[in-house]
Structure formats: C-alpha cells, structure tokens
C-alpha cells in the first residue's frame, strides 16, 4: 500500500473523530440532549412570579445562592413533605400572605449543573436583577419590595440596591426606593469566604459545571471585595435611616450546623451585621432555606418578619 492510502486513511479517521457524523444516532441524540439541557437552564434565569395577587400590597422576591437555582434551592430535601415538591415560597407561603405577590430571581450561580458556566460577574447578575425586576413591576412600580436572599444571593441583592440607588435612569432607581426590608440567610457580609469556598471539594456538591472565572475572581480576593461592598451597603443603610426616608429593615439568619465533609460554610461572624437582628436556624448552609412545613421553626421566624413588614407598609 502506498503513502496515498495512509494519508487518505488518516483523513477519514480524523474526520470521524472531530467532525459531526449525521449517521450516528447516539451522537445526534447526545447533542440534542445538550441543547435541551442548555435551553432548560436558560429558562430558569430571570424573574418568575410564583404567586400573583391583583391587589397585592407588597412584592417579595427570593434570590438563591451558590450551587442553587430558583426552584431547587427553596425545595425541601424530602419533597414528599412539600406540596408536589414545589418550593415552599410557592406552595406554603401564599396562604399565609394572601396580599403578597411572590417572585423569584434565577441566575447562573457558579456551581449549578453540568455544562458551561456563564462569564457574568457579580455586578452583572445584580444589574440584571434590577432591570428585570423593574420590568416585571412596571404595572405598579411604587409597590413596596422585600428581598429574601440566600448565600451569594444576598451579595447580588446588596449590589443591586447600590446600582439602583446610583443609576442615572430614574425608573431604575425604583428598586432601591421601594425596598422595605431584606432577609439575609447565610449571606457572607465580610471575610475571605469565597477564597475558602474555592478550596472545598466540588464533589461534595454533586455534579458541577465549569467554573465561572469572572465571578470567582471578583470574590476570591481575601475579603477585600466583600469588605468594600459591605462598607458601601452600610452607608446606604445609614442614609435611609433618617427622618426623610423610610429605613430599610434588615434581619440576618445564620446556620447552626456544618455540612458533611465541608463543615460550616458561612460563620456567624460573617453572616451577621452589627446593630441588626440575628437569628440562627438549626440546619446547615444548604438546608437552612428548605422548609418542609408551616411548623418549621425557620419558616415561622421568616413568616413573622414578612408579616410584620407587610403590615407596616399597608
């Protein structure tokens, strides 16, 4: 056999390895699954209305954290205890707050599922939160707003309020102006939390997607980024705590239990703020926002705050 034969053989092998073969049903099915998975992931981003109310007196927006999404993050591990396995803000919260409109915001939160991560930074997620919430609330832009934010979601929320306050577009300032209160749940307000997180074995979180380098870099700076943002946020809170403006209410929840293998994700010191109420939840970082029933102590505490704040704006 001549050299021409071997060159032809190499070309055929290379084409087989590196180019799409339409006659391969297995590969075609795999690619179709990849596209479907990407579409499903994309559909889980943005604002979703969990419970609508035509005469709502307040909007409550839930923002998930790292490793989460807008559905699973708020669903009890034993979904049999939940109505049809739905997130508790969608299933058991609406009957307790009939005059509240309940929303959730989803974004690409670093580790979530198999696939390619986005390149968004924290500020990008925060900006998207502000613009999409503004669009969703266009029918009643002055309705009071409450955030319930877990983990990284608290940082997204804080950055979003800072961006809203300083925005040149007056209509985007409404998110800041209408915010009545924030419930932070396991949110790291200071410290080298993200640098420590990056050292944890990702296998502890299940299947992961590729690293969002821009988001990681913006947080993995021995706490400087968190400290700077917290200083800005503290000034924001102080300025609203005047006679001319209604102060933003803040309550911080922190985890009592460590996660297996990993340990405590966000310490009490990092999860709490000076001069603001701090409440513990007898659960680890992931389970602290997954309530099974209306009798869960954590649910009772959160509901009490939401009722109080709603009553104050009615």
Query: pLDDT by residue (tens digit) across 252-309?
Result: 999 999 988 788 889 999 999 999 999 999 999 999 999 999 999 999 999 999 999 9
The secondary structure element, H or E, covering residue 148 is: strand 145-150
The CATH fold assigned to 47-313 is Rossmann fold (3.40.50)
Residue 263: DSSP 8-state = B
In the chain the first and final C-alpha atoms are separated, in Å, by 88
| Choice among 170-184, 243-257, 296-310 with the minimum mean pLDDT | 243-257
Whether 110 has a pLDDT exceeding 60, the answer reads: no
Three-state secondary structure call for residue 26: helix
On the CB side of 272, CA atoms within 13 Å amount to: 15
Q: Mean pLDDT for the chain?
A: 79
Residues 6+ apart with CB under 8 A from 191: 223, 226, 267, 269, 270
Q: What's the count of helices (H) and strands (E) in the chain, helices before strands?
A: 11, 7
Three-state secondary structure call for residue 289: helix
Q: What's the pTM value of the predicted model, to 2 decimals?
A: 0.80
- For the chain, give every domain's residue range: 47-313
Banded model confidence at residue 314, pLDDT cuts 50, 70, 90: confident
Residues 6+ apart with CB under 8 A from 54: none
Banded model confidence at residue 15, pLDDT cuts 50, 70, 90: very low
* Cα separation, 90 vs 101, whole angstroms: 10
């Amino acid at each position: 056999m001549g050299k021409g034969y071997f060159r032809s053989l190499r070309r055929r092998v290379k084409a087989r390895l590196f180019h799409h073969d339409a006659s391969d049903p297995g590969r075609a099915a795999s690619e179709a699954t990849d596209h479907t998975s990407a579409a499903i992931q994309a559909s889980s981003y943005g604002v979703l209305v969990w419970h609508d109310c035509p005469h709502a007196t307040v909007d409550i927006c839930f923002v998930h954290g790292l490793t989460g999404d807008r559905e699973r993050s708020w669903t009890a591990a034993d979904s049999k205890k939940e109505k049809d396995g739905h997130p508790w803000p969608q299933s058991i919260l609406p009957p307790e707050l009939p005059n509240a409109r309940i929303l959730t915001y989803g974004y690409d939160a670093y580790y979530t599922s198999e696939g390619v991560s986005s390149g968004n930074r924290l500020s990008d997620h925060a900006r998207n939160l502000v613009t999409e919430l503004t669009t969703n609330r266009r029918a009643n832009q002055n309705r009071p707003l409450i955030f319930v934010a877990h983990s990284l979601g608290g940082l997204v929320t804080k950055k979003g309020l800072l961006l809203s306050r300083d925005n040149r577009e007056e209509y985007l300032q409404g998110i800041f102006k209408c915010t009545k209160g924030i419930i932070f749940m396991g949110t790291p307000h200071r410290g080298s939390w993200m640098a420590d997180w990056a050292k944890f074995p990702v296998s502890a979180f299940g299947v992961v997607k590729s690293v969002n380098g821009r988001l990681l870099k913006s947080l993995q700076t021995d706490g400087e980024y968190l400290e700077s943002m917290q200083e800005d946020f503290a000034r924001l809170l102080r300025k609203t705590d005047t006679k001319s403006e209604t102060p933003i209410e803040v309550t911080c929840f922190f985890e009592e239990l460590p996660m297996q293998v990993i340990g405590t994700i966000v310490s009490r010191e990092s999860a709490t703020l000076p001069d603001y109420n701090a409440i513990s939840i007898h659960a680890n970082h992931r389970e602290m926002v997954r309530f099974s029933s209306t009798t869960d102590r954590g649910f009772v505490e959160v509901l009490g705050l939401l009722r109080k704040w709603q009553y104050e704006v009615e």
